[in-house]
Structure 1
Amino acid sequence: MSGAGAVPGAAPLEGVLFDVDDTLVDTMAAFGAAITAASRVWLPHLPEDRHPEVLALWRADPNGHYRAYTRGEVDFDAQRMARANELQAAFGGELLDDAAYVDWKDLFWGTFEQSWTAFDDSRPVLDALASAGVRVGSLTNARVELQTRKLAAAGLEDVPLLVGVDTLGFGKPDPRVFAEACRRLGTDPARTAYVGDELDVDARAALAAGLVGVWLDRPGTRRGGPHPEDPDAARASGVHVLHGLADLAAVVGVAAPTGEPAPTPR
């Protein structure tokens, strides 16, 4: 693990807030299954070995439609239809009208929901934090009801969903959502870590809100496009950089999930 490092002798953190998608739940894999299902119907001319390109464009969201949704500027289906039609245009498919979008969404979303699973390292770190008496919750830029179902489907129903994009009407990186999540968790922001897979809206935004910012930079999961993803720049800004959730123990100041002492941050 690498990052800003804990201060020697400092008290362990009292709480950890987690992002959900691509942090606790392997949403990238679920989106991959959904993209493949939709592409087979709506981009039938496209070879299957190009489906990862479709997924990459979906996740990059270069025109920022999802972030506009989290700012409360557009509704969920408006951003989703715009992104679907960007895929259609980029890969030579016909644009979706309102009726076609409903069919696209039903196929895409049904496959997506059936594919929700937790990362292998999610349960061990949650159990380690619970054993150490560290409070745990989640803060997400999606709807509370959706993410509650997602956590339950992934076997993580014991993680309370504290704040979603619909709680205050907007989401990260606004500092007010981090403050509200800490209030509901009952922890001091300065002694609370926020762990997420996006450097800017997760780790740096948490740091700016007075929390300990942790960027979970899992191998092979970067979005690319407009998303900042430079580990050296992250560390220089005071963010902890992890490559797996097992490394979180060193940041929090508890025993590692294996029961071995947590490694020293560097």
Structure 2
Amino acid sequence: MQIKGVLFDFSGTLFRIEPVRSWLRAVLAERGVTVGEADFERYVSELEAAGALPGGPSPRHVPARLAAAYATRDESAELHREAYTGLARQVELPDPGLYDALYERHRTPAAWRPYPDAAEVLGALHDSGTRIGVVSNIGWDLRPVFRAHGLDHLIEAYVLSYEHGVQKPDSRLFHTACTFLGLDPAEVVMVGDDRHADGGAAALGCDVRFVQHLPVEERPGGLRTLGLVQGVA
């Protein structure tokens, strides 16, 4: 198969969210809230268990009152905020303004790091004439993250679940992305880290390739190994 287009997932594939510890520390500093080390460590542990950081650890338990919003969280900006601020509010933090501040922090470019080989692989694909799209289950506009990290000029199309009211693995999202690129799905590879969500592209006839969902430091060359571009491995 000649690859004419590649679709990439965002979180865990091209970029990785910061750890809960630095997420919380940044927001506490921003709001001028001081806590003792023991309390800080407790907040980190409880926020991790709650799954309060989008793109971070999954919730160990989703309360019944949040179950519906969490299940459909990526279908709208409102549901996404409701789900994640609701999960965070299970943790008793010292300032009630912290819940919204934490949510806002995760939407900033500073909270995200590209994987070490992301720029290289995207650049090589772009230079070879391969069309590139991003398909993400997300509740906010990630385009500023790509711009801030100097990668936006390499992306031809963004298909974000909250803008279309459907989330992966729904094949409609992948079909929309292929249409935006002007390509038949059989000419397109979908790259992601979630075999359930990203694997939905296979129903259209896309080839699907996976990377491991790992911290940035532990996956320096995962994208390079996928055989997307000759000479990049």
TM-score range, shorter chain: 0.7 to 0.9
* Cα 1:153–1:196 shift into 2, 3 Å: same
Distance in 2 (CA, whole Å) between partners of 1:206 and 1:42 is 46
User: How far apart are 1:115 and its partner, in Å?
Assistant: 2.7
* Cα 1:160–1:112 shift into 2, 3 Å: same
What residue number does 1:213 align with?
208
* Cα 1:137–1:210 shift into 2, 3 Å: same
2:136 to 126, 137, 140: 140
What residue number does 1:199 align with?
195
User: How far apart are 1:35 and its partner, in Å?
Assistant: 3.4
Distance in 2 (CA, whole Å) between partners of 1:153 and 1:167 is 21
Is the 2:73–2:83 Cα contact (8 Å) retained in structure 1? yes
What residue number does 1:34 align with?
23
* Structure 1 residues 88-237: aligned runs within 5 Å: 88=91, 93=92, 100=96, 102-110=97-105, 113=108, 114-143=110-139, 146-158=141-153, 159-202=155-198, 204-219=199-214
Distance in 2 (CA, whole Å) between partners of 1:205 and 1:174 is 6
Q: Does 1:13 align with 2:11?
A: no
Give structure 1 stretches of 5+ with no counterpart.
Answer: 1-10, 222-242
Q: Does 1:25 align with 2:18?
A: no
User: How far apart are 1:81 and its partner, in Å?
Assistant: 1.8
Distance in 2 (CA, whole Å) between partners of 1:111 and 1:13 is 33
What residue number does 1:77 align with?
81
* Cα 1:187–1:140 shift into 2, 3 Å: same
What residue number does 1:228 align with?
none
Where do 4+ consecutive residues of structure 1 move more than 6 Å? none
Is the 2:77–2:139 Cα contact (8 Å) retained in structure 1? no
Is the 2:134–2:159 Cα contact (8 Å) retained in structure 1? yes
For each residue in 1:163-214, what CA deviation from the matched residue of structure 2 results, as whole angstroms up to 9, or x when unmatched?
Answer: 1123321221111001001000111111211111222111x21223321112
Distance in 1 (CA, whole Å) between partners of 2:162 and 2:21 is 26
Distance in 1 (CA, whole Å) between partners of 2:72 and 2:121 is 32
Counting aligned pairs with the same residue, the percent is 25
Is the 2:137–2:168 Cα contact (8 Å) retained in structure 1? yes
SS at match of 1:213: strand
Distance in 1 (CA, whole Å) between partners of 2:151 and 2:20 is 19
Q: Provide the TM-score with structure 2 as the length reference.
A: 0.75
SS at match of 1:124: helix
User: How far apart are 1:95 and its partner, in Å?
Assistant: 9.8
What residue number does 2:58 align with?
60
* Cα 1:43–1:179 shift into 2, 3 Å: farther
Is the 1:118–1:155 Cα contact (8 Å) retained in structure 2? no
What residue number does 1:247 align with?
225
- Give the number of equivalent residue pairs: 213
Segment drifting more, 191-200 vs 152-161: 152-161
User: How far apart are 1:219 and its partner, in Å?
Assistant: 4.1
Q: Provide the TM-score with structure 1 as the length reference.
A: 0.67
